[in-house]
Chains A and B, each alone.
Chain A
Amino acid sequence: MGQYNMGYHIKEGFHSIFTHGLMSFAAVCMIVACLIIMGSFSLVAINLDNTLGDLEAENEFTAYVDESLTEEQARALQTKLEAVANVDSATFVTAAQALENYKQRYVDSEYEELFDLPAEVLRHRYQIHVVDIEDLAETVAAVEGVSGIDGTQAALDIAQGFVTVRNVAGAVAWILILMLLVISLFIIANTIKLATFHRREEIAIMKMCGATNWFVRWPFIFEGMILGFIGALLAFLIQWGIYSIIVAAIAEYGGLQLIAIVPFKTLALRVLGAFAAAGLAIGAGGSFLAIRKFLQV
């Protein structure tokens, strides 16, 4: 790009937006629509991931202490257990506490008749939280190997289910986001191509006067980037509004308490950055693709 041309290209890009107002408006609307579809899907994916993460965090397993150990000896195992890889925390539960928990859990149930049993029928135990649920099986095996631990109870199937759901959801989210990005690019390219079509004569004149392809391209690319950025800002504000409405609706509906909603404020910068980057890329890429055909003069 020549030393005098950068300012000229930017000025031309801005100028063109206003001289072809209707097509600019159409392009911005398309960018807004594409970004909101992509954004909404991404936010759903983020919240799904967050909810699964919360459910994972609640996942734990029980490690039973050998009956021959005294309470003091049983408590001493905590350090060893917490030293096991992937163990986040190990909480000691005495046999008496375990019975109390049992009573609270099964009050008013058919198991109530067992409440009179002495605490000694139960064993001391540890409730163990893991860092990564994906390695639960290995962690359980390692804990069972700790001297003084006599058996474990872990919901390995459920843990594996979470991992599978999370991996599948992540993969599907990425594939859909990429597909939407490509579709958006082509929609924008076609919109800009439509806008460029009645300027093909102008391009032909420029080429005949000795303009290089890049000299012709730059104003269109700047125009696309400006439109993309405006579209991104509008999409961000609309997305914010939609998200807030949905969050309010979920908060009102008690049945959806399981869903852990990420507050928009914590996502705002990321969303704005992603929208701006996508808007600029879609605008520039769309312009680049759109004018290719018209440069063959």
Chain B
Amino acid sequence: MIRLIDVQKTYDNGTRALKGVSMKIEDGEFVFLVGPSGSGKSTILKLITGEVTCSGGRLMVNGYNLNNIRPRQIPYMRRTLGVIFQDFRLIEKKTVEENLTFVMRVVGASPREIRKRVPYVLQLVGLDHKGDRLPTELSGGEQQRVAIARALVNNPQVIVADEPTGNLDPQRSLEIMMLLEKINELGTTVMVVTHEKELVNRFSKRVVAIESGRIISDGMGGYYNNGSV
């Protein structure tokens, strides 16, 4: 579960990115976080992943209170999250399988667990036959699938995706979104940050709209439904 209570964030250069954001994402939910560039979407994501700390308010992520979390605890908090980036961020010198394996190594998984889990996750994202390929040998859509597999491999409570379809064509974007929906149906909470209105509207999910550091709408069923964005 993710909970933000009146969260504020002011960067060192004086920019007020968030001006009191409150929201709650329950376990098992699928949430789109939408808004124009500079609205504060990425800041919320960075706060959730512990890359930055909030200037005011309270923030809880999967049982961790990020207001007073010790630096040593941040890696353990991050293990409850699976993060997907717009630019995939795969390690180019490692094969698809190795990109997943090393993430399991991070949490101290045994070789036996790794041998069992990696093929399963690759199958889930439809890449079971491409485990020995390097990321550079794959298409953009396939690379994003690897990134999703990597986010999923440690069985996180929440998957956080930052513009996961930003570098993909509409067909591949839809496939990726459907894959995330499938993962959500299997029980993982999914939070997708995007500004692709058409894509959001194709799914009947909860949409939280943010603008100028404030939530301007929060409801079910599409980006434009409340007409505020």
Which residues of A approach B to under 8 Å, CB–CB?
2-5, 8, 19, 201-202, 204-213, 215, 297
Q: What's the nearest-Cβ distance from chain B to residue A67, in Å?
A: 86
| Residue interface mask B72-115, A partner, CB < 8 A = 1 | 10011111010100000111010000000011011111110000
A114 to B95, CA, bound (A): 96
Q: Which residues of B contact A206 (CB under 8 A)?
A: 102, 106
Q: Identify 24 residue pairs between A and B in the complex whose beta-carbon atoms are under 8 Å apart, listed by A's number.
A: A2-B108, A3-B108, A4-B109, A4-B111, A8-B105, A204-B89, A205-B89, A205-B90, A205-B91, A208-B83, A208-B89, A209-B78, A209-B150, A209-B154, A210-B76, A210-B77, A210-B79, A210-B81, A210-B106, A211-B106, A212-B72, A213-B75, A215-B75, A215-B105
Among residues of B, the one whose C-beta sits closest to the C-beta of A202 is B91
Q: Which residues of A contact B90 (CB under 8 A)?
A: 205
Q: What's the nearest-Cβ distance from chain B to residue A148, in Å?
A: 78
Q: What's the nearest-Cβ distance from chain B to residue A17, in Å?
A: 13
Q: Does B49 contact A (CB under 8 A)?
A: yes
Q: Does B12 contact A (CB under 8 A)?
A: no
Task: Tell which of A4, A208, A213 touches B105, judged by Cβ atoms closer than 8 Å.
Answer: A4
Q: Which residues of A contact B108 (CB under 8 A)?
A: 2-5
| CB atoms of A215 and B106 under 8 A apart | yes
A8 to B102, CA, bound (A): 9
| CB atoms of A210 and B75 under 8 A apart | yes
Task: Pick from B76, B78, B105, B154 the residue with the most CB of A within 10 Å.
Answer: B105
A5 to B89, CA, bound (A): 23
Q: Which residues of B contact A205 (CB under 8 A)?
A: 89-91
A246 to B68, CA, bound (A): 64
| CB atoms of A201 and B89 under 8 A apart | yes
Q: Which residues of B contact A207 (CB under 8 A)?
A: 75, 78
